[in-house]
Chains A and B, each alone.
Chain A
Amino acid sequence: EAGVAQSPRYKIIEKRQSVAFWCNPISGHATLYWYQQILGQGPKLLIQFQNNGVVDDSQLPKDRFSAERLKGVDSTLKIQPAKLEDSAVYLCASSWGGFNTEAFFGQGTRLTVV
């Protein structure tokens, strides 16, 4: 079974630029998560989708971050404009149901904002 695919793996941008990350979850998984992992910290949930609807986006900085999951499959996470503190690894995960079903994580996108 194919895993969660993310691209790009690495991205370096200047502050105030925009960037987008893409995630393709495991086929058939209804739930999709985006996490932000800052160096030295655990992953922090940014947004959770159930099919193409948002379940939780309470920790998403909505003034600069946006995410969508069209047709309940692929998802994109966008940052515009980026700040230095956005430097982190952005992890995408998917699961069949809610978190009580195993979440499978992608390798992540490492973003460096300079």
Chain B
Amino acid sequence: AQSVTQPDIHITVSEGASLELRCNYSYGATPYLFWYVQSPGQGLQLLLKYFSGDTLVQGIKGFEAEFKRSQSSFNLRKPSVHWSDAAEYFCAVGANDYKLSFGAGTTVTVRA
């Protein structure tokens, strides 16, 4: 069965600074990988996804993620953070049985 680990529970970053959120997955075959964002009181919104091809994936809101098979990682990055990026971020992995497994999430706080 697939699983996801997000090592950082909480990250604080200054507005305008860069952001990187870590995600490690466990799955025997090529995984389907996703990043979702959840703002307070809102549902989850898909930021980006990786199925195959170019390992650097561009998403919405200026986010990108890089798939590294050798490290079983799919880290999310943003060059310059805005106050509106404060939210909880979830990494998820899907498998051929169509189950989507989420990590525990990373809460991002943006300070002025």
Contact = CB atoms under 8 A, between A and B. Distances in A.
Interface string A6-26: 000000000000000000000
Contacts, number: 54
Interface in A98-114: 98-100, 102-108
Nearest to A107: B43
Contacts of B92: 42
Given A4-B43, A107-B43, A108-B43, A100 B94 contact: yes
B27 interface: no
Contact of B104 (A42, A55, A98): A42
A56 B1 CA distance: 14
Given A43-B102, A45-B100, A99 B94 contact: yes
B49 to A, nearest CB: 8
B104 A41 contact: yes
The DSSP consensus for interface residues of chain A is loop
B90 A105 contact: no
Interface residues of B, number: 22
Contact of B102 (A44, A98, A100, A102): A44
26 contacts: A4-B43, A40-B105, A42-B4, A42-B90, A42-B105, A43-B44, A43-B102, A45-B100, A48-B99, A56-B98, A91-B43, A91-B44, A93-B43, A93-B44, A98-B98, A99-B98, A100-B32, A100-B51, A102-B46, A102-B49, A103-B46, A103-B100, A105-B44, A106-B43, A107-B41, A107-B42
Q: Which 9 A-B residue pairings sit nearest by Cβ, starting from the closest? A: A42-B102, A105-B43, A105-B44, A99-B100, A99-B94, A98-B98, A43-B102, A107-B43, A42-B104
Given A40-B104, A55-B98, 4 more contacts: A40-B105, A99-B100, A102-B46, A102-B49
